[in-house]
Structure 1
Amino acid sequence: MPEDRKLEIEQYNSLSRLDAQHHLHPNTNPIQVAENGAMIVTSGEGIRVRDEDGKSYIEGLAGLWCASLGFSEERLVEAAERQLRELPYYHSFFGRAPVPTAKLAEFLSRITPNSLTKFFFACSGSEAIDSAIKMVWYYNNAIGRPQKKKIISRLNSYHGVTVAGASMTRIRINQEGFDLPIERFVQVDCPHYYRFAMDGEAEEEFSARMADRLEQTILEEGPDTIAAFFAEPIQGAGGIILPSKGYFDLIQPILKKYDILFVVDEVICGFGRTGEMFGSETYNLRPDLMTMAKGLSAGYQPISAVGLSEEVYRGIASLGGEKGAFGHGFTYGGHPVAAAVALETQKIYQERKIVSYVQTISPKFQGRLRALQEHPLGGEARGVGLIGALELVANKATKERFDPSLGVGVKVFEEAKRNGLLFRNAGDQLLFCPPLIITEDEIDEMFDILGNALDTVAGRL
């Protein structure tokens, strides 16, 4: 580095100012960051992170839904170091594989539901989703159904931000300005009973209506054109929306009836979050393909995977054999360091009985969350396991939302942040997904801060 450049950097008295000049942030208002600077995070311990001023925060969203073992798990650091010394990089192209990558694929075959037998590795949930879409198309070409290519997703779903993934993601900010969605992507309704039920409609009736609407859409589009239905067990970034009662029990027979592949997006729900190893177990889902990431390595290394049923794999393998190769893959997919960390993460989950721990601790979390439904600002509190949301409303009886210009959710977030709690507000929906290692005392601390923030903002409105 030239000496004058080094001195120029040292003249900044704040990394936030330096960041604001040179960093384009994802999913962020760039004008606000340029004007106000970013929050620079310097370290973490347990469920907390610390900023450049030394202020500590409870990370109520586990970073981005992924730091399931918190921010200071030494065993994962050691696993990365060992692998870096042994084999810092290798790929899985051309029939090769690093040791931990091969072991991870075998391990996943033993813990995933519905007899998923083969696993393809990538670096992010978005890459896994894009890969699953391509696999669905490839499979239908392989079995002689070249016209069966449309993909169905749901309003308020989140399936990543690649071109194809963002075409399935049905959140306004992820599509507007990007010329999305592209062709072949079809939207159906969101099974959020609180927000979309008709007056007097029982929850089971609502689920039946959602299933009927799905079948109607399939018939309108043409069953011979619909390739797959993608769904999160719990819709995460769209608001932590739990499926209405009986919804998936009605949806899955429709998919079978029209020979439509069911792709379950477990990127957020997987690896203990719902109180089962996978959200598919929580809701009795039987995926043909499954995407996973985040909790796979507890966020300590970028890694994701697509699980395939034996039937889907055989179709893909037959066409790949005919073409001479399955022509898809990523340079860093199945990276040996990431795979080694993921394997160690899975060992920790098993040794510490993380799923059982979530089952034990989640009543406390859900109880504190649902108590806030009685707050003057509280509309619906919802969740399962260690994931949940509080939706703020202007009128409890009518469920009327606040005028967006008031920024009520932002104000609650800023007040909580001032007092040492980070989470995510999606408009006036407050989203929580803390590290799975959180204790009862830390749950109380988290919700005490949130409750005080709600009181403060309510007093100002």
Structure 2
Amino acid sequence: MNAPLTNMQTRDVEALLHPYTNAAQHRQVGAHIIAEGKGIHVYDERGREFIEGMSGLWCAGLGFGDEELADAAAAQLRKLPYYHLFAGRSHEPAIELAEMIKDLAPGMARVIFQSSGSEANDSQVKLAWFYNNARGRPEKKKIISRRKGYHGVTVAAASMTGLPYNHLDWDLPIDRFLHAGTPHHWREAEAGESEADFSARLAHELEEMIEREGPETVAAFIAEPIMGAGGVIVPPEGYFEAIRPVLDKHDVLMIADEVITGFARTGEWFGSDRFNVRPTSMSMAKQLTGGYAPLSAVAINQDMAEVIEAHTGEIGTLGHGFTYGGHPVGCATGVAALRIYKERRILDHVRSVEGVFQAKLRSYLDHPLVGEARGVGLIGALELAPDASGQTAFEPGGKVGAKLSAELAERGVILRNVGDSLAFCPPMIITEAEIEALFAPLEDALNVTESWAKAEDLL
């Protein structure tokens, strides 16, 4: 067995300010350096092996060290290492990838590239505003997202994000951004309320919000098909089917944030396909390149495309874009990733192992620490709670989840606690045997965490 992390010397990295890290604490403990990756595993600088159960940050759908992806990036670096898409210039990788996305994404007509999911969602806001200005509706600008939704960290994207730590002391959210209810039946439903009734209530509450604000002021509703960083929250039965007529009635755009759920993760090409979202536009990133190069994209439907393109003719240009948006290396990597997904039948593979993966998740429902197990495809979560009622939570929140995550890391599995939810998002190449290995240390880690929680008077 490898030496435990608690006995390892970690490196002090003074020059870096690490995202989503307690910097004061980090100065005391140092950084854990990941040095290499192969398949579903990563290796730290001391040679310790870990199953990467989160695909990094929900990204590496094809795992680590894929030679075909690396070769595609290297070949493009040698051929055309950089160019832009400004002022009518273009390059073949961007054109090819846009066509591939258009062919896969339901109802989409045009694609515009960025470098990150945050930039994609920021672009969604600007495009919605531009679209409504082009239609002569300058007041129709408010964006509705949801509590616990995650849409990124730029000023607009973080304003859409419905998580406190993305707002605290950042002076966010800014004006024009609103947050509707979280579609988490286990936590939020009223006593005896079915999933379908809960969905209907959330749709009614959304309509009340739109009417209260004034439909003439509401531009768009943005939602992840599955809420990722909010805890891998799967929508209840009939949720998007109840939401969509409300948006149609009030002429509100439906933005699907597919940054995590895109490209086979849910057992369909997009989460929108799995949950009948019917989006007006879509944001995508992460598995667009398998995480091998920074790239994101926004796809818009024909109506938005026609209105926006016509308006650029009136005012002279589309005054939006990024220096690295559509970077040729990122696009070439994306072309290779989408081709690999098809050639290696990754979608079929996800469907074939989904039952095993989801059954393993749900097999821990009897453990005293586990309140709920949820997920679809190769994404899921265990929510830790004092009981299974959905009415109680650990106080303070997050400590139990962090302890379990640390215990699993000691046992060679990297997962991510989102508060007291333990998130799973393994590379989509994972085999049934590797799924068994991913879950193998969980029972022991849960038991140790349970004993610790009792000693800490948390349970």
What range describes the TM-score normalised by the shorter chain of this pair?
over 0.9
Give the equivalent residue in structure 1 for 2:95. Answer: 102
Q: Is the 8 A contact 1:379 1:399 kept in 2?
A: no
Per-residue CA deviation, residues 99-123 of structure 1 (Å, 9 max, x unaligned), is 1111111111111112x11000000
Name 1:74's counterpart in structure 2. Answer: 67
Q: Does 1:146 align with 2:167?
A: no
In the alignment, what sits opposite 1:6? Answer: none
Quick one: structure 1 residues 152 and 406, their matched pair in 2 at CA, closer, same or farther if it must change by over 3 Å?
A: closer
In structure 2, runs of 5+ residues without a counterpart are: 1-7, 455-459
Instruction: Tell me the distance in 1 between the aligned counterparts of 2:217 and 2:396.
Output: 39
Alpha-carbon distance in structure 1 between the residues aligned to 2:380 and 2:173:
28
Check conservation: 1:122, 1:334, Cα contact below 8 A.
yes
Residue matched to 2:18: 25
User: Which residue number corresponds to residue 91 of structure 1?
Assistant: 84
CA RMSD of aligned residues (A): 1.2
SS at match of 2:440: helix
- Per-residue CA deviations over 1:168-191 (Å, capped at 9, x if unaligned) read 000010111100000000111011
- Is contact 2:12-2:29 (8 Å) kept? no
In structure 1, list runs of 5 or more residues that go unmatched: 1-13
- Where do residues 5-84 of structure 1 align in structure 2 (5 Å cutoff)? 16-19=10-13, 21-84=14-77
CA drift at 1:244? 1.0
The aligned counterpart of 2:179 is 187
Indicate the residue corresponding to 1:9 in structure 2.
Answer: none
* Equivalent position to 1:235, from 227, 234, 237: 227
Contact 2:11/2:33 (<8 A) preserved: no
Does the CA-based 8 Å contact 2:181-2:202 persist in structure 1? yes
Return the match for 1:424 from 416, 426, 432. 416
CA distance in 1, matches of 2:234, 2:220: 21
Indicate whether 1:379 and 2:376 are aligned.
no
- 1:325-373 per-position Cα deviation (integer Å, ceiling 9, x unaligned): 1000000000001100100001100001111100001111000001111
Percent identical across equivalent pairs? 51
Q: Could you tell me which residue of structure 2 aligns to residue 347 of structure 1?
A: 339
1:200 to 182, 189, 192: 192
What do residues 389-436 of structure 1 show as CA deviations (whole Å, max 9, x unaligned)?
000011224641122278111111111000100011011110010000
Q: CA deviation at 1:283?
A: 0.7
Tell me what 2:360 maps to. Answer: 368
Q: Which amino acid is 2:207 matched to?
A: E
Deviation of 1:16 after TM superposition, in Å, equals 4.4
Deviation string, structure 1 residues 13-46 (Cα, Å, up to 9, x no partner):
x994341x11100111111111101111100010
Question: 1:290: Cα distance to partner?
Answer: 0.5
Alignment check: 8 A CA contact 1:166 1:174 kept: yes
Residue 294 of structure 2 is aligned to residue 302 of structure 1: yes
Contact 2:51/2:414 (8 A) holds in 1: yes
Runs of 4+ in structure 1 over 3 Å off = 14-18
After the TM superposition, which of the residue ranges 314-323 and 120-129 deviates more from structure 2? Answer: 314-323
Residue 410 of structure 1 corresponds to 402
Please say if residues 41 and 51 of structure 2, whose CA atoms lie closer than 8 Å, have aligned partners that are also in contact: yes
Match of 1:282 in 2: 274
How far apart, CA to CA, are the structure 2 residues paired with 1:113 and 1:357?
A: 21
**Alpha-carbon distance between aligned partners in 1 of 2:37 and 2:436, rounded to the nearest angstrom:** 20
Deviations 1:183-232 (A, max 9, x none): 00011101100000111111111111101000000000000000000000
TM-score, reference length from structure 2: 0.96
Question: What TM-score does the superposition give when structure 1 sets the normalisation length?
Answer: 0.95
Tell me, in whole angstroms, the C-alpha distance in 1 between the residues paired with 2:397 and 2:165. Answer: 17
AA in 2 matched with 1:341: T
